[in-house]
Amino acid sequence: MPGPSLPFDARPLVEPVDPAAVRAHTKELRAAGTLSVAGATFAIVGIVVGIFAVFFVVVFATIATSFAAVATRQPGFGVLGALTGLLPIVIVAIVIAGIVIVAVRFFRGQGDRRYRLDRFARANGMSYLPQFANPGLPGMIFSLGSSRMSSDLVRGEKPRFVEFANYRYTTKSGKNSTTHRWGYVAVKLDVPLPHIVLDATGNNSLFGSNLPASFDKDQRLSLEGDFDQFFSLYCPAGYERDALYLFTPDIMARFIDNAAALDVEIVDDWLFLYGQRDFSTLDPAMWNWLFSVVAALLDKFAQWSRWRDERLQESVPVIAGPPAAGGAASIPFTAADGMLRPPPGVAAGGLRLKRRVPWITFIIAGGVLLFWLLSQFGFFAAFLGR
């Protein structure tokens, strides 16, 4: 990805493109197997079937009504009546033509979008992938629901791996389903770190956090300065000292100045930035913001690479060497205190935060249960005077 030396080349996002080149690019992606044709084919078939079904129903109903009027010799049903009877068919035909035009433009627009993002990625030393099912990343949004799909992935490899993408997953409640939309930035870190979440207060709703997971309040850590005004920081119990080591005042300032509108999750050897909007777009301003956020944080990650979990520290096994002068056995390759620096990694207690069920869930469940009980005892019937 572009380094701290912004600006970047945004021309491929906005300059005119050749439609023939867009079509060739789509064929190339499909031939390479990076663009699934199943979804587009299903959508097209569904639209065509729906159009023909509506058209034939309207035609059949109009013809049937006309024959019935003629057979019963309804007064006033002549040529004018017949033409009036054909009016629904004309209206439906116009609506269908409009649907077809919109569908064609939509699919062409998707191809145009992919082509522009691919050229944008190449122009800035990155790569592009149109979609990736079940990305399997360890962040909190990637293990929820079904139909998980990352789309429009723009990846940079230097100075470290960074991925910008949009993400969708679906959850079901009874017969109803909801599609959740996110944008994310995934940054590969040098070493695994304790599970830490920064819940941005600026994007919370009336009911609290917009994150799909809630964490035990006893894991909330208050930091110095005005950091708490922008983020609620959660770290595993017993890792408060480690969180203070990672979030020094200069790093806290970077997050406040550049990422206050984003939720942040550090898990394993990844850092994720989340937002409930598309990140991978054709808007140069969006890319300028995201690149600026990542560039502001990159040079601070070197500090994090030196962190080690002291809970993993073990005594170095004694290895007897050849007898030294005076008959004492030497112990090579040991530190002065007989201990080695802990290896990279996180002990079991710091791998994941403890989650809790949001209070709004209890309120909704209690309301449903109360409504059911009152209906069973005839409360509503009595109230309505029945």
Task: Per residue of the chain (386 residues), give pLDDT as tens.
Answer: 665 445 799 999 999 999 999 999 999 999 998 887 644 444 455 555 556 666 666 566 566 555 555 555 555 555 555 555 556 666 666 666 665 555 555 555 699 999 999 999 999 999 999 999 999 999 999 999 999 999 999 999 988 999 999 999 999 988 889 999 999 999 999 999 999 999 999 988 877 899 999 999 999 999 988 999 999 999 999 999 999 999 999 999 999 999 999 999 999 999 999 999 999 999 999 999 999 999 999 988 988 999 999 999 754 444 444 555 555 444 454 444 445 678 899 999 999 999 986 555 545 545 655 665 666 666 655 555 55
Q: Bridge partners of 131?
A: 151
How many Cα atoms within 13 Å fall on the side-chain side of residue 296?
A: 17
Query: Encoding tokens for residue 381?
Result: 């019937």
According to the model, what pLDDT value does residue 299 have?
84
Which uninterrupted H or E stretch holds 24? helix 19-32
Phi/psi region, residue 312 (left: phi>0; alpha: psi -120 to 50; beta: rest), is: alpha
Note the pLDDT of residue 319.
Answer: 44
Cβ-contact 236, 195 below 8 angstroms:
yes
Q: Kindly tell me the burial class for residue 294, based on how many C-beta atoms sit within 10 Å of its own C-beta (0-12, 13-18, 19 or more).
A: buried
Which residues lie closer than 8 Å to 8 by C-beta, 6 or more apart? 2, 124, 287, 288, 291
What SS3 class is residue 150?
strand
- Residue 347 tokens read as 């002990």
Short-list 185, 108, 101, 85, CA closest to 139: 185
Cβ contact 145:170 at 8 Å: yes
The one-character DSSP state at 174 is T
The two tokens of residue 263 are 């939720």
Q: Give first-to-last CA distance, the chain, whole Å.
A: 69
- Interatomic CA distance for residues 69 and 51, integer angstroms: 27
Q: Could you give the CA distance from residue 278 to residue 91 in angstroms, rounded to a whole number?
A: 37
Entry pTM:
0.75
- Whether the CB-CB separation of 39 and 151 falls below 8 Å is answered with no
Residue 37 has which token pair?
Answer: 């044709």
Question: Could you tell me which residues come within 8 angstroms of residue 68 by beta carbon, excluding any fewer than 6 positions away?
Answer: none
Cβ neighbors of 326 (< 8 A, separation 6 or more) are none
Calpha distance 178→172 (Å, rounded): 6
Q: How many C-beta atoms surround the C-beta of residue 363 within 10 A?
A: 11
Question: Nearest-5° angle of CA 318, CA 321, CA 327?
Answer: 110
Residue with tokens 């959850």: 171
- pLDDT, residue 17, reads 95
* Whole-number Å distance between alpha carbons of 108 and 22: 8
Identify the CA nearest to 96 among candidates 122, 58, 60, 132. 58
Dist CA 123 CA 286 (whole Å):
17
Beta-bridged to residue 356, according to DSSP, are 214
pLDDT score recorded for residue 173: 83
Q: What is the distance between the alpha carbons of residues 123 and 246, in angstroms, rounded to a whole number?
A: 34
